[in-house]
């Protein structure tokens, strides 16, 4: 396991995580105690996670780049018994006597792992809440195990593989990176956060580390593609290329596939509440055109995808409905928030003791049995009597050569139109204005679906997980002052 020159062998990881577990137990840690991790992305952070699990505790990774006020909200909600931290970390909201400095942990006697049940919590990941307060998604041991039992044989991960560790540790994609490697004895190569600033650094990292699997959010693929960081002959070592967390624009996917014909490409889908991913689709061929939709596919083993109408009955083939998930990956719910849990996790309408999770996404099932993501339920608008899927508008804009990345949002107009379709975009090599983009869209979309407001940015706002921050984009069009990348200006 590596990050730059920082490296741990499996033997060293075992000894260090055992020592961390011993230190927690000596301090009085009890089963189910929450332990917040104030540790930058590193092999040491992985050792801290394992130390918590060996002590029977529940680890809560903290995003060190988050504002202190947000961190305090997370600490208040998690109510941790302890924190593990490096001496240079800014720890807030926790009694200093409950903070264990990882530099002070010394390897020694190995404590027996504390017995846990599969249904017990392993970690809590705090995601953005609609009210502005972070909500903690509880992930059980059984949730992670269920995904790994499907993913490892499906992707054929073995001890000789060299896996990427791109996602930050407070993002659930990293759970597959970390525990997929630990399960198989593969090498885990953590991607330095600084490499995300320069696409060619990411390309150099893949080649230098001779990675066999790359897994990241779609914005990374788009950034590398539009700045021509993918070598003409592709990445020779890559066997598996995976993405999750957002829609990968089809034009970007086609160019990646052309340059990497030796690799398999798999779209994974699933919210944090369903543990890493619940659906997958491995492409058999390059999509026929830049506007060809890529399905989220079929459910992973032990999972179930349901497209239901407003009466919680299966939507007819080809018709749009609300997407629900059932199965082994479902989180027990939100930490200490029974109301939100009851709203999102419903009793299975078909009967029995099962539960289903309301994703908030819209989807349809086609005749081939594959599920297609349509957009967020809150991204469907009505304008001048027309029902419009903003995701469809976004796909069309993404197909234009001049566009590197894009977000399409709706803003209230306060008049007859109801909602204005607003498009924020970042250019690739060219820098056309909004009028030109609108004219290029006319052959692709009906007039009522064309954006009426345009904003050109050097780079779109991103959240901590690297996904486009659509709420931030909406605020820009509403005239709310937000932190945006340099170079923003109206087109």
Higher-pLDDT residue of 458, 25? 25
Give the mean pLDDT of 189-213. 93
Give the mean pLDDT of 173-194. 96
Helix 199-209 vs helix 218-226: angle between axes, to the nearest 10 degrees? 100
State pLDDT tens for residues 121-131: 999 999 865 44
Q: What is the pLDDT of residue 418?
A: 63
Q: Which residues of 312-336 are buried (b: 16+ CB within 10 A; e: fewer)?
A: beebeeeebbbbbbbbbbbbbbbbe
**Least confident stretch, 202-206, 312-316, 347-351:** 347-351
Higher-pLDDT residue of 213, 484? 213
By residue count, the chain amounts to 491
Q: How many CB atoms are closer than 10 A to CB 212?
A: 22
Question: What percentage of residues in the chain have a pLDDT greater than 70?
Answer: 92
**Does residue 227 register a pLDDT over 80?**
yes
**Does residue 464 register a pLDDT over 80?**
no
Q: What is the pLDDT of residue 419?
A: 77
- Report whether 203 contacts 307 (CB < 8 A): no
Higher-pLDDT residue of 383, 303? 303
- Report whether 86 contacts 55 (CB < 8 A): no
Give the DSSP per-residue string, 208-259.
Answer: HHT-SEEEE-HHHHHHHHHTT-S-TT--TT--EEEE-SSPPPHHHHHHHHHH
Nearest to 405 by CA among 477, 483, 469, 362: 469
Q: Which residues of 373-392 are buried (b: 16+ CB within 10 A; e: fewer)?
A: bbbeeebbbebeeeebbbbb
Q: What is the pLDDT of residue 435?
A: 76
Higher-pLDDT residue of 389, 270? 270
Tell me the pLDDT band of 382, cut-offs 50, 70 and 90: low
Q: What is the pLDDT of residue 417?
A: 55
**Does residue 413 register a pLDDT over 80?**
no
Q: Which residues contact 292 (CB under 8 A, 6 or more apart)?
A: 250
Tell me the pLDDT band of 482, cut-offs 50, 70 and 90: very low
Helix (H, G, I), strand (E, B), or coil: what is residue 279? strand
State pLDDT tens for residues 452-463: 899 999 889 988
- Report whether 487 contacts 424 (CB < 8 A): no
Question: Phi, psi (5° rounding) for residue 374?
Answer: -105, -40
Q: What is the pLDDT of residue 338?
A: 95
- Report whether 45 contacts 84 (CB < 8 A): no
- Which domains are present in the chain? 2-116 (3.40.50.980), 139-380 (3.40.50.12780), 384-477 (3.30.300.30)
Q: What is the pLDDT of residue 383?
A: 67
Question: Phi, psi (5° rounding) for residue 5?
Answer: -85, -5
**Of the spans 133-142, 147-156, 383-392, which averages the highest pLDDT?**
147-156
Give the mean pLDDT of 51-63. 97
Higher-pLDDT residue of 112, 99? 99
Q: What is the pLDDT of residue 367?
A: 95
Question: What percentage of residues in the chain have a pLDDT greater than 90?
Answer: 67
Report d(CA 333, CA 331) in Å as an integer: 5
Higher-pLDDT residue of 428, 344? 344
């Amino acid at each position: 396991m590596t990050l730059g020159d920082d490296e741990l062998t499996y033997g060293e990881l075992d000894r260090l995580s055992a020592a961390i577990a011993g230190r927690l137990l000596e301090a009085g840690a009890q089963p189910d105690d929450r332990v917040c991790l104030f540790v930058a992305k590193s092999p040491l952070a992985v050792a801290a996670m394992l130390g918590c699990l060996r002590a029977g505790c529940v680890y809560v990774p903290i995003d060190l780049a988050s504002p202190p006020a947000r961190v305090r909200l997370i600490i208040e909600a998690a109510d941790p018994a302890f924190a593990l931290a490096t001496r240079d970390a800014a720890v807030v909201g926790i009694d200093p006597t409950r903070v264990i400095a990882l530099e002070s942990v010394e390897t020694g006697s190995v404590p027996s792992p504390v017995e846990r049940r599969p249904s017990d919590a392993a970690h809590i990941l705090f995601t953005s809440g609609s009210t502005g307060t972070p909500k903690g998604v509880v992930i059980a041991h059984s949730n992670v195990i269920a995904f790994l039992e499907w993913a490892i044989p499906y992707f054929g991960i073995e001890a000789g593989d060299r896996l990427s560790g791109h996602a930050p540790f407070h993002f659930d994609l990293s759970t597959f990176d970390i525990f997929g490697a630990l399960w198989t004895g593969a090498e885990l190569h953590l991607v330095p956060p600084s490499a995300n600033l320069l696409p060619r650094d990411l390309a150099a990292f893949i080649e230098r580390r001779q990675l066999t699997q790359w897994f990241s959010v779609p914005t990374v693929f788009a950034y590398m593609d539009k700045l021509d960081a993918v070598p003409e002959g592709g990445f020779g070592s890559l066997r598996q290329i995976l993405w999750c967390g957002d829609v990968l624009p089809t034009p970007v996917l086609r160019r990646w596939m052309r340059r990497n014909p030796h690799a398999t490409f798999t779209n994974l889908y699933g919210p944090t509440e369903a543990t890493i991913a619940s659906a997958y689709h491995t492409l058999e061929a390059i999509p026929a055109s830049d506007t060809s939709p890529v399905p989220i596919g079929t459910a992973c083993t032990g999972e179930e995808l349901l497209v239901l109408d407003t009466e919680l009955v299966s939507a007819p083939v080809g018709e749009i409905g609300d997407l629900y998930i059932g199965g082994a990956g479902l989180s027990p719910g939100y930490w200490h928030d029974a109301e939100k849990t009851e709203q999102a996790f419903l009793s299975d309408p078909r009967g029995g003791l099962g539960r289903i999770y309301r994703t908030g996404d819209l989807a349809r099932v086609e005749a081939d049995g594959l599920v297609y993501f349509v957009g967020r339920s809150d991204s469907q608008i009505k304008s001048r009597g027309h029902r419009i899927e903003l995701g469809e508008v976004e796909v069309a804009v993404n197909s234009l050569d001049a566009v590197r990345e894009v977000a399409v949002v709706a803003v209230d107009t306060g008049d007859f139109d109801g909602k204005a379709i607003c498009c924020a975009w970042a250019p690739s090599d060219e820098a056309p204005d909004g009028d030109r983009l609108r004219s290029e869209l006319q052959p692709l979309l009906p007039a009522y679906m064309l954006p009426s407001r345009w904003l050109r940015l050097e780079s779109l706002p991103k959240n901590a997980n690297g996904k486009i921050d659509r709420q931030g984009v909406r605020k820009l069009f509403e005239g709310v002052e937000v932190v945006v990348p340099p170079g923003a200006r109206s087109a």
